[in-house]
Amino acid sequence: MAMVVILYPVSDEEPRLQRAALEKLARLGITSVALLRDTSLAGLVLEGWAFDPRDAPQAVSAVAGPREDVQTLVPLAQMAVSAAPSREVSSET
């Protein structure tokens, strides 16, 4: 599964997750979207089995309009973690 994180400065206009934008994201192979924001920076986390990270600018355009001030981050590592016991537990009482 491909994943990218896209960062861009916050503008006065809110990002749009309207039907047309979501349809465009789906056509790009994106199946999961997270929208993040603080007071100065906004971000999109995009994932999809058929998503090509080189299409990230098109995805940003669908959600935030055309932008040139975008930074794209790609994963260096991705893993699952679980809460497994770190040592054996004795059943002696």
Task: Give residue limits of the domains in the chain.
Answer: 2-73
**pTM over the 0.85 mark:** no
Tell me which long-range contacts 59-64 makes (C-beta under 8 A, separation of at least 24): 59/6, 59/24, 59/25, 59/28, 59/30, 60/6, 60/8, 62/20, 62/21, 62/24, 62/25, 62/28, 63/15, 63/16, 63/17, 63/21, 63/25, 63/33, 63/35, 64/8, 64/11, 64/13, 64/15, 64/16
Q: For the domain made up of 2-73, give the CATH fold.
A: Alpha-Beta Plaits (3.30.70)
pLDDT of the chain along its 93 residues, tens only? 899 999 988 877 666 678 998 999 999 999 999 988 888 998 889 999 999 999 988 988 888 888 888 888 988 888 888 887 777 666 665
Could you count the other beta carbons within 10 Å of the beta carbon of residue 25?
23
